[in-house]
Structure 1
Amino acid sequence: MTDPSLCQQILTPTRLLDIIMRRSLSYPQFRVFQHGDELHPDRYLHNVVTRRGQSLSMARMEPLGRFVRAGCTIVLDTLDSFDPAMEIACQALQWWSHELVQVNTYLTTAEASGFNLHWDDHDVIIVQLGGEKSWEVRGTNRIAPMYRDAAKDDEPPEEVVWSGTMRAGDVMHIPRGYWHQATRTDRGSDDAGYSLHATFGFVKRTGVDWFCWIADRSRMLEEFRHDLDRGRSSTGSNPELTGLVPDLVKAYPQSVYLAAREHERPPRRRVVTHDVFGPLAGVVCLADFPPTVVTTDDQVTVTAVGKEIAFAAKAEPALRMLLSGNPVSLEAVTEATGVPADVVARTLVDEGVCSELTDELLAGYLQVR
């Protein structure tokens, strides 16, 4: 990273521990490892019952502190689900890659080890946010292995592709299927340091996903909804269905599948106030993928979050700013384009394409800039 100081703005060890303390977390989203073994959740989680009888799974911070002092690895998955800065970082990576992204965080203290050699069924980008950790990356025995696969890939290759130390600001890409491990066991017992890194996982689409999607489209054809009758032919197959398969593949090419996957993503969670606490002053586009904007002579059509929304053609300059993915002031958009941005923005917010720009959401953008 060109500016390693950005790491401290994104996440620090104490901020991660503060998030863990204040959230109701459960296994396996929240895990702790020590001496290479996964600890039983009862050692760091307990149920807190409120006076109204609600049971909440909360971290036991005192034991967790002792594990941190002695050396351990703390894993918190999907931090983007409740941290605005990480949610925004994942959205930015989704717009860049056109793939779904989630982030898991790993805090390792003293000379604790990490996971043993393993491979992931998705690409990862690892960002070292603090401290140091030693890595070893090996090749792959099976090209493009999958979680549900036709063959196992359970023996790591001997070839080491890269080994070295990740320090704050370092970024590494590990493709799907490449074996890897990270540790601090080489730091020595006198090392009181730590490592904090974020792993952004990219769940990319495969040919299998495309075929499954086509199979779902076949439900629209009556011929595919009928039972398979073994007695209809001497071969026990229905030639009528066999002849329809190429037509389905032709009707739903890969480009249509990939576009539909982006356009059909539902609206994200967002704060909705309906102007109860003041008029709408700023918005930001929170769609999982960049909206598609198509302009004709008389209108502009925005496709996103499973909807197509039509605007007058003169709204295009304002739409481009409102859908940029950056937080924008409606006053600034109106001044720059001459288009009443409040009217356009209200429609985008009501349809779930954009979110009201609250102070809390804006703080997340300031952290990841």
Structure 2
Amino acid sequence: MRVSEPWLDDPLGYLIGAERVVEFLARGYERDPLVVHHNAPKRFEGLLSIDAVDRIVTGTDLREGQLDMANASRQMMRSDYLDGAGYVDRGAVAELYRAGSTIILNQAHQLDPTLGRLCRGLEHTFSAHVQTNLYLTPPNAQGFRTHYDNHDVLVIQIEGEKTWRLYDKPIDTPYRGEGFELGKFEAGELKQEFTLKAGDCAYVPRGLMHDALTPGDAASLHITIGLITRTWADLMLEAVSEVALRRAEFRKSLPAGYARTGHNRASARAYMAQLLNIAAQEALLDPALDLIADEFIRSRPADNRFALRDAIKPVSADEKFQLKRHAHFRLAEDGDKLVLICPGGELDFAPTARAAIERALNGKPFAPSELGADDATTIAARLLAYGLVERF
């Protein structure tokens, strides 16, 4: 049975407003910040609360890396809030929080099923790995100095208020490995200042310098949703690699002595020009994009909640199933077998099962008896086990 939550059908629309989604994806995404004041303080209350964070921090044996702390006015070390065994020292966390430090719960979607479902929905929208960090900042405090992130973020204000300041973009769409280095980049001119209140949302593209502080006498809780994307550079590398598998010219060794000082590179430049011309003529988008898509799909955690319960309940020919919301999959042929690429790996089927599988995964409720395959109940059971379908 499907979970009923208001953000699941259109998670991005729920965050920024459904009327903004098309324009945002076409023109704003990766380019310009977006601030949305929903004027609805309870809009996101179903996602999280300060009480929920308190339960996680005080009721979970958090290990190093799951919880961090930050304070813009001082250098913090993990030894400040970890015990000798690598566990979070809850008393130290409370003391540091009371003294003005921000509590950060990293990868919070792995701790909270609701945030996990939100991430899966956004992954379906962006075809990107989506992660969440939680930031609980005490009153009149600032967790971080001015910096940029090397991935795009959506900020959801859950409780309290936070004032954000946006500056210049010293590096445009940085690589994942181009993290901010203190002292290397200047904040530049203040371009925008705004305050997020409970129920508001903002988008900050990667590379944009920013900072945020909690004004007044109330704590602030916000969720930062990070979008970890693949780039056109990734696609080009895969496309050229695919050409190299077919063309021996790309696999030849570099010139003898190329590393010596004074080596004449004229012939190497000419040969590289030939290779670029071949790549321009023969590099194909579809095989490279399929490879990247398959890697993404396989790397997603399978949404197989209740799989153990369902495993001992026989699948009958007449009971109804449906495709799970935001399910990732791709159907492909591999020699003499049909491969269903899905989170966690892949499933092999006989080519004759294509019509049945396509029917099962077209989004409409189905019964195995409607699939037109002799092994229809087995097909449904396998799709159920891997979290692609659920009982209707």
Select the residue among 14, 20, 31 that pairs with 2:51: 14
Of 253-262 and 233-242, more deviation after overlay is shown by 233-242
Q: What is aligned with 1:261?
A: 292
Select the residue among 195, 207, 216 that pairs with 1:165: 195
Q: Provide the rounded CA distance (Å) in 1 between the counterparts of 2:142 and 2:79.
A: 21
Q: What is aligned with 1:354?
A: 388
Select the residue among 158, 172, 181 that pairs with 1:143: 172
Does 1:207 find its partner at 2:265? no
Q: What is aligned with 1:334?
A: 367
Q: CA deviation at 1:241?
A: 6.0
Higher share in strand: 1
**Residue correspondence of structure 1 range 101-120 to structure 2 within 5 A:** 101-120=130-149
Partner AA of 1:30 in structure 2: L
Gap change, CA 1:112 and 1:159, over 3 Å in 2: closer
Q: What is aligned with 1:39?
A: 76
Other structure's SS at 1:9 match: coil
Gap change, CA 1:91 and 1:147, over 3 Å in 2: closer
Unaligned residue ranges in structure 1 (runs of 5+): 49-56, 295-299, 323-331, 358-369
Q: Provide the rounded CA distance (Å) in 1 between the counterparts of 2:294 and 2:41.
A: 35
Partner AA of 2:232 in structure 1: G
Gap change, CA 1:100 and 1:93, over 3 Å in 2: same
Q: Provide the rounded CA distance (Å) in 2 between the counterparts of 1:212 and 1:23.
A: 42
Q: CA deviation at 1:171?
A: 0.7
Q: How many residues align?
A: 326
Q: Provide the rounded CA distance (Å) in 2 between the counterparts of 1:342 and 1:174.
A: 47
Q: CA deviation at 1:115?
A: 1.0
Q: What is aligned with 1:224?
A: 250
Q: What is aligned with 2:42?
A: 5
Q: Provide the rounded CA distance (Å) in 2 between the counterparts of 1:229 and 1:293.
A: 43
Of 258-267 and 89-98, more deviation after overlay is shown by 258-267
Q: CA deviation at 1:223?
A: 4.0
Gap change, CA 1:85 and 1:342, over 3 Å in 2: farther
Of 31-40 and 131-140, more deviation after overlay is shown by 31-40
Q: Provide the rounded CA distance (Å) in 2 between the counterparts of 1:318 and 1:211.
A: 34
Unaligned residue ranges in structure 2 (runs of 5+): 1-14, 16-37, 259-263, 333-337
Q: Is the 8 A contact 2:155 2:222 kept in 1?
A: yes
Gap change, CA 1:356 and 1:268, over 3 Å in 2: farther
Q: What is aligned with 2:109?
A: 80
Q: Is the 8 A contact 1:94 1:101 kept in 2?
A: yes
Q: Is the 8 A contact 1:34 1:113 kept in 2?
A: yes
Q: Provide the rounded CA distance (Å) in 1 between the counterparts of 2:134 and 2:265.
A: 58
Select the residue among 123, 129, 132 that pairs with 2:152: 123
Task: Give the TM-score taking structure 1 as reference length.
Answer: 0.72
Select the residue among 155, 158, 162 that pairs with 2:186: 155
Q: CA deviation at 1:198?
A: 0.9
Q: CA deviation at 1:318?
A: 3.0
Q: Provide the rounded CA distance (Å) in 2 between the counterparts of 1:183 and 1:74.
A: 13
Does 1:247 find its partner at 2:295? no
Does 1:30 find its partner at 2:56? no
Task: Give the TM-score taking structure 2 as reference length.
Answer: 0.69
